[in-house]
Amino acid sequence: MAKLYIKGSQEVDNQNPREETVKFLLDYSKALSVIDYKKMKFEALLN
């Protein structure tokens, strides 16, 4: 019985992305800016 509980608690979370990935995306979003020039759009990563 004890073994069962231990195994359960060590299972890897396959339902959620890692926290680092989410953080990377939020930082990426903050760093990215799109500049409009006439009809063109330029992306700039200000990091």
Residue ranges in contact with other proteins by CB under 8 A: 12, 14-18, 21-22, 24-26, 28-30, 32-34, 39, 41, 43
Q: Closest distance between other proteins and the C-beta of residue 28, in Å?
A: 7
Q: Report the sign of the C-alpha dihedral through residues 6, 11, 13, 19, in that order.
A: positive
Q: How far is the CB of 4 from other proteins (least distance, A)?
A: 23
For other proteins, the closer of residues 3 and 41 by Cβ is 41
In angstroms and rounded to an integer, the radius of gyration of the C-alpha atoms of the chain is 21
